[in-house]
Amino acid sequence: MVATLRIVLDQLVTSAEPDLAEASRELARALVIAAPAGCEVEAIVPAGGETDPDDAVPGLAGVRRTALPRRELAAALQLGVGTGIGGGMIHAPTLFAPLVRHDRVHDNDQTVVTVWDLRPWESADELPRSTAAWHRAMLKRAVKHADAVVVPTHALGERLGQIAPLGDRIRVIAGAAPQGFAVPGDEIGRRRMLDLPEGFVLLTGGPLPSDALDIGLTAIAASGVDLPVVVIGVDDGQEPAVAGLAAAAGIPERRLHVRGALDPADRAAVFGAALAFIAPSRRSAFPWRVVDALALGVPVIAADSAVHREVIVDGGVLVVGSDAEAVAAGLGDALGDALGSTAAADRLAVLAGDRGRSFSWRESADRVWQLHAEL
């Protein structure tokens, strides 16, 4: 008898968040590769969309499309009404899952969901009201019906446990950089296409307070390092706001380069020319770009937080500060030290690369299979 793990790939069909779409795709691919003997992987996707899951994830045993498009399906899931998804072993890389009453003991039905970011609970005012409400409602449904809730770090698990009474159902399985993530051979051409310089300080995020981009920009301005500054992952329309933060920090327009979300190859090309990556955000969220930097051996300088301590460990510099001003000053000093000599930069690059090898989607997939076997 074949055991089928059914993974929800709504983000592949209608991508709402690039990082979650990438994580869903990478986890699904790794689950197919890591499938134990007698096991297979099937995709569950909403109706519509332009991406064929079979193309994105080779080796799927099948693709089951729901009758509803993603937006309508999200509303149905929030209300707990019939969606046609059915039972079996269901794994969702997000909270997008049929969280309804089921019988794990007699019918072998399982539902596992994932939480990567606690902004809907800790900084809900930064999100559209409907988005925050959907996440809060789905977590309440998870409390009632999820067999396990996956988080990427123990720090996030501890915080989530304070938000929702999930008990021992919280499991930690980290994310990773994309499989094969490496600086491409045509990196220079890709950076030219993106109109980026060679040799810069890199950040990610936007003008939202929890992104702490203002702190990172202030740190660069105070460091005395006269290098271009590149900010990636900026949402469309937010470029002027980011430019305003840079100007307020004292970084002239000629040094600033703002780009949006990038595909893995372009992103790796950007990291390939980064002399350091600054991570000022202390939000309770998995730091995707920090993991990218570690994977490629880019020196990492980050604001101290429970998540950063767990992810970076000794792979970068962690800066402690009692307030935003102190953190900015500390990040600036650390950046100046890191780029003050070739030896210092090389040392941080080696430390980053060593730590980056700790993250693997294949290992994450093995742990997902193990989790469902235990359930």
Contact 294, 243 (CB under 8 A): no
Structural domains in the chain, sorted by start: 3-176+360-374 (3.40.50.2000), 187-356 (3.40.50.2000)
CA-wise closest residue to 2 among 44, 45, 36: 36
Contacts of 170 (CB under 8 A, 6+ apart): 148, 149, 151, 157, 160, 161
DSSP codes, 67-113: EEEHHHHHHHHHHT---S---SEEE-SSS-S------TTTS--EEEE
How many other CB atoms sit within 10 Å of the CB of residue 128?
9
pLDDT of residue 252: 94
> Collapsing DSSP states into helix, strand and coil, what is residue 178?
coil
Rounded CA-CA distance 1/291 in Å is 39
Contacts of 250 (CB under 8 A, 6+ apart): 218, 221
Our measurement of the distance from residue 185's CA atom to the centroid of its chain's CA atoms, rounded to an integer in Å, reads 25
How many other CB atoms sit within 10 Å of the CB of residue 346?
12
Tokens of 307: 């998540």
pLDDT tens, N- to C-terminus, the chain (375 residues): 789 999 999 998 877 789 999 999 999 999 999 999 999 999 999 988 777 888 899 999 999 999 899 999 999 999 988 777 878 999 999 999 999 987 776 567 899 999 999 999 999 999 999 999 999 999 999 999 999 999 999 999 999 999 999 999 999 999 999 999 999 999 999 999 999 999 999 999 999 999 999 999 999 999 999 999 999 999 999 999 999 999 999 999 999 999 999 999 999 999 999 999 999 999 999 999 999 999 999 999 999 999 999 999 999 999 999 899 999 999 999 999 999 999 999 999 999 999 999 999 999 999 999 999 998
Q: What is the pTM of this model?
A: 0.95
Is residue 322 exposed (0-12), middle (13-18) or buried (19+ Cβ within 10 Å)? Answer: exposed
Rounded CA-CA distance 60/6 in Å is 10
Q: What are phi and psi of 230, to 5 degrees?
A: -115, 130
Tokens of 369: 């299979």
How many other CB atoms sit within 10 Å of the CB of residue 341?
10
CA-wise closest residue to 231 among 294, 192, 183, 279: 279
Is residue 182 exposed (0-12), middle (13-18) or buried (19+ Cβ within 10 Å)? Answer: middle
- Torsion sign over Cα 86, 87, 91, 96: positive
H helices of the chain, where? 10-13, 18-34, 53-56, 70-79, 119-122, 129-145, 154-163, 187-193, 213-223, 239-249, 264-272, 288-295, 306-312, 324-338, 342-356, 361-374
Tokens of 225: 């390092």
